[in-house]
């Protein structure tokens, strides 16, 4: 369980206000947190240092969340990385698309921050 | 060219000719006679000539001239004036003829008067109907165009000309297509014709169509017009402006997007900030101020967006997209037809189903995706697989190779579509269907592009209500002698070719003369149901079909009256099933009929898999192994027109699912499968015997 607490998380979202909250709460929960605001920056940050978990918004500038997710899953080195998609696209088909392309969880906005932190823990725990 | 001759002229000419001959004759005779004999001859000849001339004058006066006069009068009556009177006086020999002509003229006059009256009435009626039709057509804001099958306009209203932006050049007898996009009309016509042929005629096909060079869209309906013999000889299209409707729908889409997507983000921001504040009462002042500002800003933004949403909603009408029920087979058949002449080969697989959508836009989208897939991957061979999920029908394009990156797929979808659909893009078509698409690995070195679409569960033609199940059938000879597996023994299960088939019969007792009334089958190759590789025939059983068995299969005497007997159909099925493992549900029943009919003529030497026995082996705890019970357990659903093909498809789908279960249990070779089936057969036979004994001793 101890590694879960120290796990690294990359938050990919172009809404600064949500990033502000997520960063604060995840850090408070003991995670190491980095943030980027678009797809290309996310892939660069992952290449630099792969996080244990990615909190990935779907509608981000440049390559969207689906494309980033698919690219991560196509790289064997990153196959074990946990991905939680965060999105304002709430349809069942979009959810199915996200999961089909390799996301571990698909969380629709708005969400409870407390539940999100719990979910991050659960998904990381699954890996452990 | 015949010259007009008068009777008088002809008679005159005859007399002149005759007189001249007579004079010449006398002259010649006079030369040969003595001078004394000439005088009496001349006197006699002169007398005869005088009588002859008098007679000739009389004939000309009384007969020839009146006849000429009469023919002129008759011509006047026939051509100009029916009431013209014959002016021949009384000095003629044509009394009866004149009477006859007069009677005929009077009757003609009467008939003409009656005809004129009927015509006038019909014209009045026609004019009144025309006035009604004009009033109705004029009053319609919908455009109406009636065309023949050569697409020439036979009738249209003012609204049509205005909607088509073609008031100047639109007209009767001209082609419809410069004004209405060709492809959507032809496609709707094709769909209606397909439906007519399949006996599922819907009153009209709904579709969308580009007008004015593709700048605008209209929503249209097409219905077939039939001739007196009931054959199609034209069509009527009604259409309405869609651009206003479309604008409203686009706005509605925007609003929905705002409601479901744009509002989520600010609410999330707000909620996160608020929760951070409430969960952290000891937050330093500076950080607290930052979160408080977020709450204030996002609340304001949220209010503004909500206002815009409410305003937009009030302005909206109640428009709907033009959607209709589509049978996946019809869609795929049209798609394959569109690909004729390209190197692309498309194999339909899976269970056909009804979906809900706009046929043409889906077709154009699928074609676009296939062409792009071909140029991106180099693949020419694709499967198009239909499967059912929760309230959804999946259309999967499957190829050997890697999935397509999401970004690349997105760029394909952002291109405007060609084919008479105005300014729509692939993304627009998907949005209109409430759908999306993605590419992922499909296992075994294949990848797929998946398009989920709404299932037309309630829209499609009603399925036949669940029929009573055929009782489990035992042929102990078949059970005692295990199924020979021959060359198939060591073959992996999914690599075999199977033919799942089903028979419908006049009754349950082949030994008592019951006969086959329908046979259907479908091929399964490499674990895929080949949707279009099907065999389906009605058979004349040579005897009356009992009412009790019609309840099972719905095949009536009327339906098989002109169909061939089973002996004629069987060789074709033998060929269809060659080299394949036969699969049937409750197979002993079908195999018994098949072998009896084939005896001495054909030999079905391939092994047979019974899905009933296989299910009994894999799910021993389940009591009901009927086709419908297994299908319900496995969540399988087949919509099909005839019961034999429906059951074949269902049997095929059940087989594939059961083969998956077999593989999970280590049954991977055909020999193992046959052994498991035999075991289940023996068990069931014992069970059956025990039940019989129990029943016997109870009675």
- Per-residue pLDDT reduced to its tens digit, B491-510: 888 888 999 999 999 988 87
- CB pair distance less than 8 Å for A21 and B410: no
Question: Is the pLDDT score of B37 beyond 50?
Answer: yes
| Closest by CA position to B469, among listed B612, B593, B594, B354 | B612
Task: Name chain A contacts of B299, Cβ cutoff 8 Å.
Answer: none
Helix crossing, B264-279 with A113-127: angle to 10°? 90
What is the least distance, in Å, from the CA of A48 to any CA of chain B?
22
Question: Is the pLDDT score of B386 beyond 90?
Answer: yes
To probe the interface with B, which of A79, A88, A94, A116 has the most B CB atoms within 10 Å? Answer: A88
- CB pair distance less than 8 Å for B272 and A113: yes
- The per-residue pLDDT for range B608-617, each reduced to its tens digit, is 899 998 998 8
| Range from B149-153, B168-172, B207-211, B459-463 carrying the lowest mean pLDDT | B459-463
Residue A20 contacts B where some CB pair is shorter than 8 Å? yes
pLDDT mean across residues, chain B: 82
Task: Name chain B contacts of A74, Cβ cutoff 8 Å.
Answer: 403
Question: Is the pLDDT score of B477 beyond 60?
Answer: no
- How much is the pLDDT for A106? 92
Question: Is the pLDDT score of B4 beyond 70?
Answer: no
- The per-residue pLDDT for range B318-336, each reduced to its tens digit, is 334 567 778 888 889 889 9
**Residue whose entry in the numeric block shows the structure tokens 């096909």:** B205
Residue A76 contacts B where some CB pair is shorter than 8 Å? no
- CB pair distance less than 8 Å for A64 and B267: no
Give the residue numbers in B contacting A (CB under 8 Å), as ranges.
260-265, 267-273, 275-276, 279-280, 287, 290-291, 294, 297-298, 392, 403, 405-407, 410, 434-436, 438, 440, 450, 452
B446-454 and B392-400: which strand pairing? antiparallel
- How much is the pLDDT for B460? 40
- How much is the pLDDT for B480? 42
Chain A 84-123, CB below 8 Å of chain B: which residues?
88-91, 93-94, 96-97, 100-101, 108-114
Q: Point out the residue among A28, A63, A66 whose CB comes nearest to the CB of B438.
A: A66
- pLDDT band for B399, please (50, 70, 90 cuts): very high
Distance CA B107, CA B100 (A): 11
- How much is the pLDDT for B92? 84
Q: Which two tokens stand for residue B114?
A: 């009656």
- pLDDT band for B1, please (50, 70, 90 cuts): very low
Question: Is the pLDDT score of B218 beyond 50?
Answer: yes
Distance CA B659, CA B500 (A): 14
- The per-residue pLDDT for range A57-66, each reduced to its tens digit, is 999 998 999 9
Q: Which helix (H) or strand (E) covers residue B451, if one does? A: strand B446-454
**Alpha-carbon dihedral B300, B304, B307, B313, rounded to 10 degrees:** -140
- How much is the pLDDT for A70? 94
Question: Is the pLDDT score of B143 beyond 50?
Answer: yes
Distance CA B693, CA B566 (A): 37
CB B532 within 8 A of CB B570: no
% of chain B beyond a pLDDT of 90: 22
**Alpha-carbon dihedral B637, B642, B647, B648, rounded to 10 degrees:** -110
- The per-residue pLDDT for range B55-64, each reduced to its tens digit, is 888 888 888 8
To probe the interface with A, which of B268, B270, B273 has the most A CB atoms within 10 Å? Answer: B268
Q: Which residue has the higher pLDDT, B670 or B82?
A: B670
Task: Quickly count: other Cβ atoms within 10 Å of residue B26's Cβ.
Answer: 18
CB B556 within 8 A of CB B643: no
Question: Is the pLDDT score of B82 beyond 70?
Answer: yes
Cβ burial, residue B668 (10 Å; 0-12/13-18/19+) = middle
Half-sphere exposure of B228 (CA within 13 A, CB side): 0
CB pairs under 8 A between A and B: 100
- Which letter, b or e, does each residue of B109-126 get, where b requires 16 or more Cβ atoms within 10 Å of its Cβ? eeeeeeeeeeeeeeeeee
Please state the rounded mean pLDDT for residues B146-165.
Answer: 85
**Residue whose entry in the numeric block shows the structure tokens 């070779």:** B669
Q: Output the pTM of the full model.
A: 0.62
Those residues whose C-beta lies under 8 Å from the C-beta of residue B692, and which sit 6 or more positions away, are none
**In this structure, what are the phi and psi dihedrals at residue B32, rounded to the nearest 5 degrees?**
-85, -10
- How much is the pLDDT for B200? 62
- How much is the pLDDT for A126? 79
3-state secondary structure B62-101: HHHHHHHHHHHHHHHHHHCCCCCCCCCCCCCCCHHHHHHH
Distance CA B256, CA B238 (A): 30
Task: Name chain A contacts of B452, Cβ cutoff 8 Å.
Answer: 93, 96
Question: Is the pLDDT score of A128 beyond 70?
Answer: no
Question: Is the pLDDT score of B407 beyond 70?
Answer: yes
- Report the largest interatomic distance among the alpha carbons of chain A, rounded to a whole angstrom: 36
What is the least distance, in Å, from the CA of A12 to any CA of chain B?
14
% of chain B beyond a pLDDT of 70: 86
The full DSSP string for A23-60 is HHHHHHTT-EEEEESSHHHHHHHHHHS--SEEEEESS-
The full DSSP string for B495-523 is GS-EEEEEEEES-S-GGGT--EEEEEEEE
Those residues whose C-beta lies under 8 Å from the C-beta of residue B281, and which sit 6 or more positions away, are none
- How much is the pLDDT for A4? 57
CB A8 within 8 A of CB A82: no
Distance CA B364, CA B194 (A): 19
Distance CA B469, CA B471 (A): 6
* Residue ranges in B461-610 assigned as alpha helix (H): 476-480, 547-553, 557-560, 566-576, 587-598
**In this structure, what are the phi and psi dihedrals at residue B403, rounded to the nearest 5 degrees?**
-65, 160
Please state the rounded mean pLDDT for residues B203-232.
Answer: 79
**Residue whose entry in the numeric block shows the structure tokens 């407390």:** A114
Q: Which residue has the higher pLDDT, B459 or B636?
A: B636
- pLDDT band for B464, please (50, 70, 90 cuts): very low
Give the single-character DSSP code of B198: T
- pLDDT band for B459, please (50, 70, 90 cuts): very low
Task: Name chain A contacts of B263, Cβ cutoff 8 Å.
Answer: 88
Please state the rounded mean pLDDT for residues B638-653.
Answer: 81
Question: Is the pLDDT score of B679 beyond 50?
Answer: yes
Task: Name chain B contacts of A108, Cβ cutoff 8 Å.
Answer: 264
- How much is the pLDDT for A103? 95
| Range from A84-88, B127-131, B361-365, B592-596 carrying the lowest mean pLDDT | B127-131
What is the least distance, in Å, from the CA of B374 to any CA of chain A?
21
Q: Which residue has the higher pLDDT, B132 or A7?
A: A7
The CA-atom distances, in angstroms, between B422 and each of A20, B464, B566 are 44, 40, 52
Q: How far apart are the first and last CA of chain A?
A: 8
Please state the rounded mean pLDDT for residues B340-361.
Answer: 89
Task: Name chain A contacts of B291, Cβ cutoff 8 Å.
Answer: 20-21
What is the least distance, in Å, from the CA of A4 to any CA of chain B?
22
Q: Which two tokens stand for residue B62?
A: 């009384």
Question: Is the pLDDT score of B484 beyond 60?
Answer: no
Those residues whose C-beta lies under 8 Å from the C-beta of residue B410, and which sit 6 or more positions away, are A64, A67, B427
Residue of A nearest to B453 (CA): A93
- The per-residue pLDDT for range B531-573, each reduced to its tens digit, is 888 999 999 999 899 988 888 788 889 999 999 999 999 999 9
Question: Is the pLDDT score of A122 beyond 90?
Answer: yes
- CB pair distance less than 8 Å for B272 and A21: yes
Question: Is the pLDDT score of B474 beyond 60?
Answer: no
To probe the interface with A, which of B256, B260, B265 has the most A CB atoms within 10 Å? Answer: B265
What is the least distance, in Å, from the CA of A57 to any CA of chain B?
10
Question: Is the pLDDT score of B627 beyond 60?
Answer: yes
Q: Which residue has the higher pLDDT, B402 or B231?
A: B402
- pLDDT band for B462, please (50, 70, 90 cuts): very low
- CB pair distance less than 8 Å for A110 and B271: yes
- CB pair distance less than 8 Å for A17 and B298: yes
Prior bond to A60 cis, omega within 30?
no
- CB pair distance less than 8 Å for A20 and B273: yes
- How much is the pLDDT for A1? 46
Please state the rounded mean pLDDT for residues B219-224.
Answer: 88
Q: Point out the residue among A70, A91, A110 whose CB comes nearest to the CB of B267.
A: A110
**In this structure, what are the phi and psi dihedrals at residue B217, rounded to the nearest 5 degrees?**
-115, 145
- How much is the pLDDT for B476? 43
- CB pair distance less than 8 Å for B406 and A101: yes
- The per-residue pLDDT for range B239-298, each reduced to its tens digit, is 887 655 566 666 677 677 767 777 788 888 888 998 898 888 888 988 889 998 898 888
Task: Name chain A contacts of B253, Cβ cutoff 8 Å.
Answer: none
Residue of A nearest to B268 (CA): A110
The full DSSP string for A80-117 is T-EEEEEES---HHHHHHHHHTT-SEEEESS--HHHHH
Q: What angle do CA B43, B46, B49 make, to 5 degrees?
A: 150
- CB pair distance less than 8 Å for A21 and B273: yes
For the beta sheet containing A82-87, the strands, ordered from the edge strand earlier in sequence to the opposite edge, are A32-36, A8-12, A53-57, A82-87, A105-108
- How much is the pLDDT for B404? 95
Task: Name chain A contacts of B406, Cβ cutoff 8 Å.
Answer: 63-64, 66-67, 69-70, 101
The CA-atom distances, in angstroms, between B674 and each of B308, B651, B680 are 67, 17, 10
CB B338 within 8 A of CB B183: no
- pLDDT band for A3, please (50, 70, 90 cuts): low
Please name every residue paired with A32 in a beta bridge, in sequence order, or none if there are none.
Answer: A8
What are the E-state strand segments in B242-368? 324-327, 345-350, 354-357
Q: What angle do CA A58, A59, A60 make, to 5 degrees?
A: 105
**In this structure, what are the phi and psi dihedrals at residue B244, rounded to the nearest 5 degrees?**
-70, -45
Q: Point out the residue among B268, B275, B438 whose CB comes nearest to the CB of A109.
A: B268
Please state the rounded mean pLDDT for residues B385-400.
Answer: 91
């Amino acid at each position: 369980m101890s590694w879960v607490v120290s796990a690294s998380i990359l938050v990919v979202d172009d809404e600064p206000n949500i990033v502000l909250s997520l960063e604060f709460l995840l850090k408070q929960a003991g995670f190491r947190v980095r943030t980027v605001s678009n797809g290309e920056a996310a892939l660069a940050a992952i290449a630099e240092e792969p996080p244990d978990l990615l909190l990935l918004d779907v509608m981000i500038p440049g390559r969207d969340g689906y494309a980033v997710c698919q690219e991560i899953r196509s790289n064997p080195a990153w196959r074990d990385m946990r991905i939680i998609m965060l999105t304002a696209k709430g349809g069942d088909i979009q959810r199915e698309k996200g999961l089909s392309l390799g996301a571990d969880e698909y969380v629709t906005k708005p969400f409870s921050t407390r539940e999100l932190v719990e979910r991050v823990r659960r998904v990381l725990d699954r890996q452990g | 060219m015949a010259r007009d001759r008068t009777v008088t002229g002809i008679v005159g000419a005859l007399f002149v000719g005759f007189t001249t001959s007579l004079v010449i004759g006398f002259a010649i005779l006079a030369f040969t006679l003595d001078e004394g004999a000439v005088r009496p001859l001349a006197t006699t000849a002169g007398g005869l000539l005088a009588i002859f001339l008098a007679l000739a004058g009389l004939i000309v006066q009384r007969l020839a001239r009146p006849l000429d006069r009469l023919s002129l009068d008759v011509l006047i009556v026939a051509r100009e004036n029916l009431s013209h009177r014959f002016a021949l006086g009384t000095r003629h020999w044509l009394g009866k003829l004149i009477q006859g002509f007069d009677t005929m003229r009077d009757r003609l006059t009467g008939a003409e008067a009656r005809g004129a009256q009927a015509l006038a009435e019909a014209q009045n009626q026609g004019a009144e109907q025309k006035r009604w039709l004009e009033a109705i057509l004029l009053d319609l804001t919908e455009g109406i165009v009636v065309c023949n099958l050569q697409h020439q306009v036979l009738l249209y209203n003012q609204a049509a000309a205005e909607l088509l932006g073609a008031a100047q050049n639109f007209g009767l007898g001209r082609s419809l297509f410069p004004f209405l996009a060709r492809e959507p009309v032809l496609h709707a016509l094709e769909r209606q014709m397909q439906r007519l042929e399949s006996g599922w005629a819907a009153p009209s096909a709904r579709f969308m169509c580009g007008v004015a060079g593709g700048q605008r869209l209209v929503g249209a309906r097409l219905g077939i017009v039939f001739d007196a013999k009931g054959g199609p000889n034209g069509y009527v299209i009604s259409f309405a402006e869609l651009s206003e409707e479309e604008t409203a729908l686009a706005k509605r889409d925007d609003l929905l997007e705002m409601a479901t997507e744009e509002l989520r983000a600010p609410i999330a921001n707000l909620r996160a900030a608020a929760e951070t504040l409430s969960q952290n009462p000891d937050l330093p002042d500076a950080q607290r101020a930052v979160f408080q500002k977020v709450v204030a800003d996002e609340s304001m933004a949220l209010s503004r967006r909500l206002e815009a949403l409410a305003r937009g909603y009030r302005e909206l009408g109640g428009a709907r997209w033009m959607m209709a029920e589509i049978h996946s087979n019809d869609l795929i058949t049209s798609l394959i037809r569109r690909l004729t002449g390209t190197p692309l080969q498309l194999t339909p697989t899976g269970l056909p189903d009804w979906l809900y959508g706009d046929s043409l836009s889906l077709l154009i989208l699928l074609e676009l995706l296939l062409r792009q897939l071909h140029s991106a991957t180099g693949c020419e061979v694709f499967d198009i697989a239909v499967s059912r999920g929760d309230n959804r029908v999946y259309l999967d394009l499957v190829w050997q190779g890697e999935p397509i990156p999401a970004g690349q797929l997105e760029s394909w979808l952002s291109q405007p579509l060609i084919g008479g659909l105005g300014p729509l893009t692939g993304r627009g078509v998907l949005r209109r269907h409430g759908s999306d698409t993605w590419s992922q690995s499909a296992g075994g070195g294949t990848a797929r592009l998946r398009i989920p679409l709404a299932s037309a569960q309630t829209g499609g033609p009603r399925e036949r209500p669940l029929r009573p199940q055929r009782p489990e059938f035992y042929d102990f000879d078949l059970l005692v002698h295990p199924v020979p597996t021959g060359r198939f023994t060591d073959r992996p299960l999914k690599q075999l070719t199977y033919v799942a088939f089903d028979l419908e019969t006049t009754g349950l007792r082949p030994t008592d003369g019951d006969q086959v009334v329908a046979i259907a089958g479908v091929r399964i190759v490499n674990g895929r149901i080949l949707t279009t590789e099907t065999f389906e025939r009605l058979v004349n059983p040579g005897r009356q079909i009992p009412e009790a068995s019609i309840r099972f299969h719905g095949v009536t005497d009327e339906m098989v009256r002109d169909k061939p007997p089973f002996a004629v159909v069987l060789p074709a099925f033998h060929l269809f099933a060659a080299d394949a493992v036969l699969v049937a549900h409750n197979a002993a029943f079908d195999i018994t009929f098949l072998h009896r009919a084939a005896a001495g003529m054909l030999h079905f030497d391939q092994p047979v898999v019974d899905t009933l026995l296989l299910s009994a082996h894999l799910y021993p705890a389940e009591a009901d192994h009927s086709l419908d019970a297994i299908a319900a357990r496995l969540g399988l659903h087949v919509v099909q027109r005839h019961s034999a093909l429906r059951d074949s498809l269902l049997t095929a789908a059940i087989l594939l699912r059961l083969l998956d279960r077999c593989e999970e249990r280590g049954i991977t070779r055909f020999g193992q499968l046959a052994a498991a089936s035999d075991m289940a057969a023996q068990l069931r036979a014992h069970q059956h015997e025990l039940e019989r004994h129990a029943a016997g001793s109870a009675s």
